[in-house]
Amino acid sequence: MTTALSGNPSRWLRTPRPRPSAPVRLVCLAHAGGTAAAYQDWAPLLPDDIELSVVQYPGRHDRIDEPCVDSMEEMADAIAAVLHPAAGPGLVLFGHSMGAAVGYEVALRHAAQGHPPRRLIVSGRRPPHRHVGGDVHTKDDDALLAELRSLSATDRAVLDDPDLRQLLFPVIRADYRLIERYHRASPPRIDTPITVFRGSADERLPGHDADAWRDLTTRGFDQRVFPGGHFYLRDHARDVVPAVVRAIGTAPGQAAPGPAEGTGT
């Protein structure tokens, strides 16, 4: 593991409502260019027996003085080490888009140490063996801007401000470099149930690719579909969070209960 990325968990994790006695710790990982703020609305919607921690990647917000990480191996190694005290049956990982791939890699590392997480919930991302790569990180700022506008990934006011773009683009470019260069032709299975979340109109994760996540678990698998596109969870937190809670409440290795009202399988 890269020494520069090791350190105090407080650098990596934001826990808006600490619940040290909670039996379950839900750790969320954001999309490319995202921050811990992506999940700031989740904490009040969770029951007392689930503690929410959100990963803050280097190079943004209160870590803006640190270099971005553009290597999946370095990122997953560092996060897995920080989460080690929470490894085991109480740890649930939720990752959206780039965060889904990072979550899988973190789960792999914990499983290799004999501490597979309770559940891995992946959202809006093909599994590693279906990942098609990309070259957005090699293109100019105009192309990157067009990519972000097409995804509605970033507030329009931010994208329209040249000064804010100058701060944001190096972070997003580093994240794209990380995820576009990431691929596993034969990804290992983990002894952790996997749940897939996706938006019904998300062209980046069609149903057959979402279903391919089942190849990566030796335990239970299920899939849930929510209205919306790639960033469906931004507009449907009050549907998504209860679905996460139901998935967490499922006994390890079993299929999760049916979707909430307003979702489908």
Query: 222 near 265, Cβ under 8 Å?
Result: yes
From the list 6, 21, 71, 97, the catalytic residue is 97
Outline where DSSP puts E strands in 57-123. 91-96, 119-123
Type of residue numbered 71: S
The number of beta carbons lying within 10 Å of the beta carbon of residue 162 is: 8
Q: What angle do CA 3, 37, 256 make, to 5 degrees?
A: 90
- Catalytic residue flag (residue 6): no
Return d(Cα 111, Cα 107) in angstroms, integer: 6
The number of beta carbons lying within 10 Å of the beta carbon of residue 119 is: 28
Considering all CA atoms of the chain, what is the largest pairwise distance in Å, rounded to the nearest integer? 49
Query: Which residues on adjacent β-strands are paired with residue 121?
Result: 94, 195
**C-alpha pair distances (Å), 153 with each of 38, 177, 219, 250, 255:** 11, 17, 33, 31, 31
- Which of the residues are catalytic? 97
